[in-house]
Structure formats: structure tokens, C-alpha cells
């Protein structure tokens, strides 16, 4: 990989004698890491742990993830290890046991959003946003697979969050950047890099920060990150924010053995990840607290007019037993779709709906057409699914992959039931039995498009089950 000359000169000055090790690391293959879904896995895999994440693990090689049904079931997420440091920022600066309103502003494709969803309490609300609509659909897909049920996916420009004044307790801004930290994973990032682009990104990041700052509560926490090493997009932006607003830098307690580098800049502390010092890509993170007293999370009071439409009692009666503890949920209807959100989050969710464009919310449970019911894919993947209400069929690897390709499969049974199809006990989706034939209801837009190998076995190429993943 040939690096831009001005980038090399700056990094030589920044790293001094360590530059040679840094440059050598960029020529090595990027490590492969995953973060498991502790809502769906009973025990962690037998793999080396990412030291700053309780659910992050390194793989010895990169399997063909597309052909692993566990990925499609939401059992894990393929995520770069350095970015999992978000977990330390949240655990050390936020009381995660309390009900929180959390914003992941730049959420796609979903790594940080699903990570946050695993860390916050069931009584908390996560708003995962992506400004680009096509990427917001990918974000919604990954949030749905994760199955936590207390997430709203939105697609709005940062400036539109000004409508939610002092709403969020925590904001995560993984800002669009010049991508220096992704050089060895993405050769295109090298081609697109320039000093001019670095400066443009730094200015855009400042605009983003100011656009959303008003939506953070007094006493609230901002976690800012990029995948760059330059100071303009990192420390300088944090110093600039401190000049504009009354802020406090929040240092973190890090183990020296991790290899993470703490940087000090005008009284602000940030954390840098270099590939010659950590098993991960380039990354920067800083935590800022907004001045003022923290306010109560809830208690905004009921408004007279809601945007969310409750489902009728008849419709609720048809589907309420499809979720465990149905009394915990507010049942909503949009057209023919019945969805559920935790009842304690209804007021907050409606406020978001009043102010933003919402792509997906809670758990889409069913499509109702008169007395006809169709369970929806999100229900199958939800942690709140009540399996006792459905016939279940366990698939082997080959049948699971055929289902995920949206190819017809068959079972040795007859009837007219909706069947929940599982792999290693984890739901993959729905099929409708019509006699001895099964209609495949896997979402068309999510299907595996690649051809399946001629011989499919539970070997190292296809599935992480080899690492002794135990599903719930």
C-alpha cells in the first residue's frame, strides 16, 4: 500500500521513532473480530477476548460470514475491535442501570447501535439515526436482527434534532471522517484521502456537533469518535467545542496493557488506537459532559394529541400472546401492521415521532387483514417472542441456508400452520405450511444472493458454531 506523502510526513512527526512499526502494521492483514449478542447466546465462544469489550472476540481467520445462519439470526455482529471501546466510555461515565434516552447519531450500518442496545437497560430508549435513507434501511435491518425491541431507527439530518431540545441523556457521534484508520481495510480510503478532505471533514464535524448539541440535556454525556489519527478531526474539534460551549472532559480508566494511547490537549483527554499497538484499526474517542445539572429522564407529561396510533382491542387480542409478558407493551397499528414498544417508552417514542422521520420502531409483530394474521420477520428475531404459541422446526445447515436464500424447503409434516424455523435453536424466520409444502417468508431484500457451495458441512468455512457458541 502506497500512502500519501503528506500523510506519511504528518504521521512521522506525530509518532517519531514508532512510525516504522506503524507503517509495517498497515501492511499486515486486518484482524477479524465479532461482538456477540448476549440476548441470544447462553455462553461466550471459545475465542480470544477483545480486552475492552465484554462481548467482543477475535477470530483466527475470516470465515465466509454470509453463509453462517447465526449471523442472520442476530447471534453476533461483525465489528472492528477498536470501535468496541465505546463500551468503556459508556460503562465508566453513564449509569446504565437507569432509564436513559440515548442517541446514536451516525448509526449505519449498526455496529455501535447494536452495541449500545446490549448495554442499556430494558427501560431505556435508543434512537439510532442515519441521514442517508438507503443506509438507514441497512441500519434498521441490523437493529431488527439484534432483537432488543427498545430502538427507534430514524433518518434525519443532524440539524433536525434541534426539535428535541434537551431530550437525550447520552449522545454518541461517530462522525463521518477522512477514514485514515481504515487504510489497510479499505484501499479506496487511501485514494480518496487528501489534506483538503481532512479539513473539510473537520469543518463538517463541527457543524454536526453544534447542530445536535441543543438536544443533549444539561449534565448529559457526549461520546465523540472518528476513525482517524489527525488532530484536526479529533482533539482540535473537542477543544473547539469547549470554546463554544461549557463542557467537561471525562477521562477513562484504561489498562496500560491494552495499548491504547491517551492524548492530552488543552485540558481535554482523548484516546487513540494505532495498529502497531492494538489488535484493531485506527480510532479516536473522547467523552465530554455538558455543563449543568442532570434532569429527570422521564416525566414529560402526556400530550393531548399523539402521533402514534394504538391498535384496537380486537387486533391486540389476536396477537398479544405472541410476545412474552404482553402487558409490558404498548400495541400500535400503522395500516395493517401491528407493532409493540415497551409501554414505559410510549411517551418518549411519540415525542420522537412528532419531531423526526422514523424508519422503524420497537418490534413489528404481525400483519392483520381481517381475521387473517401473518407474523412478521421482526417478531421471529425478537428477544420478546413467545415461542410457546408457534410450531417450531429445527433446520440443519443446508436447509437453513436454502431458507435464507428464499428457496423452497420441505418438512416431513402436513398442515396449515405458521412455522418458526430455527438453526441451533435460534429463530431464522417464518414459513407457512400448505399441505406438505412450505411457503418461504424470509424477507426478499435480505436474502442471500450468492450461490451455495456444492457440499455444505459444519466446517470452518461456514459457521461460528465450531467455536462452541451456545444459543439460548
- Catalytic residues, by residue number, are 227
C-alpha distances (whole Å) from 121 to each of 116, 117, 149, 152 are: 10, 8, 11, 15
Q: Is 415 left (phi over 0), alpha (psi -120 to 50) or beta?
A: left
Nearest to 107 by CA among 127, 87, 80, 84: 127
Nearest to 464 by CA among 152, 69, 90: 69
List of residues 6+ apart from 166 with CB closer than 8 A = 214, 215, 216, 217, 218, 220, 295
Nearest to 422 by CA among 169, 156, 73, 82: 73
List of residues 6+ apart from 370 with CB closer than 8 A = none
* Whether the bond into 201 is cis, omega within 30 of 0: no
Whether 238 and 268 have beta carbons less than 8 Å apart is answered as: yes
- Number of helices (H), then strands (E), belonging to the chain: the values are 13, 23
The helix-helix angle for 111-119 and 86-93 (nearest 10°) equals 30
Nearest to 169 by CA among 114, 121, 241, 226: 121
Cα separation, 131 vs 241, in Å, equals 22
List own/partner pairs for 366-370 with CB under 8 A and 24 or more apart: 366/318, 366/319, 366/322, 366/337, 366/338, 367/336, 367/337, 367/338, 368/315, 368/318, 368/319, 368/333, 368/336, 368/337, 368/338, 369/336
What is the 8-class DSSP label of residue 459?
S
Amino acid at each position: 500500500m502506497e500512502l500519501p506523502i503528506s500523510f506519511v510526513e504528518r504521521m512521522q512527526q506525530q509518532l517519531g521513532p514508532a512510525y516504522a512499526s506503524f507503517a509495517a502494521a498497515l501492511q499486515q492483514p486486518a484482524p477479524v473480530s465479532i461482538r456477540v449478542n448476549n440476548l441470544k447466546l447462553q455462553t461466550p465462544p471459545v475465542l480470544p477476548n477483545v480486552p475492552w469489550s465484554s462481548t467482543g472476540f477475535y477470530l483466527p481467520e475470516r470465515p465466509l460470514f454470509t453463509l453462517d445462519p447465526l449471523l442472520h439470526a442476530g447471534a453476533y455482529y461483525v465489528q472492528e475491535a477498536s470501535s468496541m471501546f465505546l463500551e468503556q466510555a459508556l460503562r465508566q461515565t453513564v449509569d446504565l442501570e437507569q432509564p436513559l434516552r440515548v442517541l446514536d447519531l451516525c448509526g449505519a450500518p449498526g455496529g455501535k447501535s447494536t452495541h449500545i442496545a446490549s448495554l442499556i437497560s430494558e427501560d431505556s430508549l435508543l434512537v439510532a439515526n442515519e441521514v442517508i435513507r438507503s443506509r438507514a434501511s441497512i441500519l434498521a435491518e441490523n437493529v431488527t436482527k439484534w432483537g432488543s425491541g427498545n430502538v427507534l431507527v430514524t433518518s434525519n439530518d443532524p440539524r433536525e434534532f434541534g426539535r428535541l431540545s434537551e431530550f437525550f441523556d447520552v449522545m454518541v457521534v461517530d462522525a463521518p471522517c477522512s477514514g485514515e484508520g481504515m487504510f489497510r481495510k479499505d484501499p479506496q480510503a487511501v485514494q480518496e484521502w487528501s489534506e483538503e478532505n481532512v479539513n473539510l471533514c473537520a469543518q463538517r464535524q463541527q457543524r454536526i456537533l453544534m447542530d445536535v448539541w441543543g438536544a443533549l440535556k444539561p449534565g448529559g454525556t457526549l461520546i465523540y469518535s472518528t476513525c482517524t489519527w489527525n488532530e484536526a478531526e479529533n482533539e482540535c474539534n473537542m477543544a473547539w467545542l469547549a470554546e463554544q460551549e461549557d463542557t467537561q472532559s471525562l477521562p477513562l480508566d484504561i489498562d496500560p496493557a491494552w495499548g491504547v494511547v491517551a492524548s492530552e490537549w488543552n485540558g481535554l483527554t482523548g484516546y487513540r488506537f494505532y495498529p502497531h499497538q492494538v489488535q484493531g484499526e485506527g480510532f479516536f474517542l473522547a467523552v465530554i459532559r455538558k455543563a449543568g445539572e442532570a434532569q429527570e429522564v422521564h416525566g414529560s407529561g402526556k400530550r393531548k394529541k399523539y402521533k402514534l396510533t394504538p391498535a384496537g382491542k380486537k387486533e391486540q387480542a389476536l396477537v398479544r400472546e405472541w410476545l412474552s409478558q404482553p402487558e409490558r407493551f404498548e400495541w400500535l397499528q400503522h395500516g395493517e401492521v401491528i407493532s409493540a414498544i415497551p409501554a414505559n417508552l410510549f411517551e418518549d417514542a411519540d415525542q420522537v415521532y412528532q419531531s423526526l422521520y422514523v424508519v422503524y420502531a420497537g418490534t413489528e409483530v404481525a400483519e392483520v387483514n381481517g381475521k387473517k394474521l401473518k407474523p412478521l420477520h421482526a417478531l421471529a428475531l425478537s428477544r420478546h417472542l413467545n415461542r410457546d404459541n408457534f410450531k417450531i422446526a429445527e433446520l440443519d445447515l443446508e436447509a437453513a441456508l436454502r431458507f435464507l436464500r428464499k428457496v423452497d424447503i420441505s418438512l416431513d409434516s402436513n398442515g396449515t400452520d405458521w412455522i418458526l424455523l430455527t438453526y441451533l435453536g435460534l429463530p431464522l424466520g417464518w414459513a407457512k405450511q400448505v399441505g406438505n409444502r412450505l411457503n418461504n417468508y424470509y424477507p426478499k431484500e435480505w436474502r442471500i444472493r450468492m450461490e451455495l457451495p456444492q457440499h455444505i458441512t459444519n466446517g470452518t468455512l461456514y459457521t461460528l458454531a465450531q467455536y462452541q457458541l451456545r444459543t439460548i
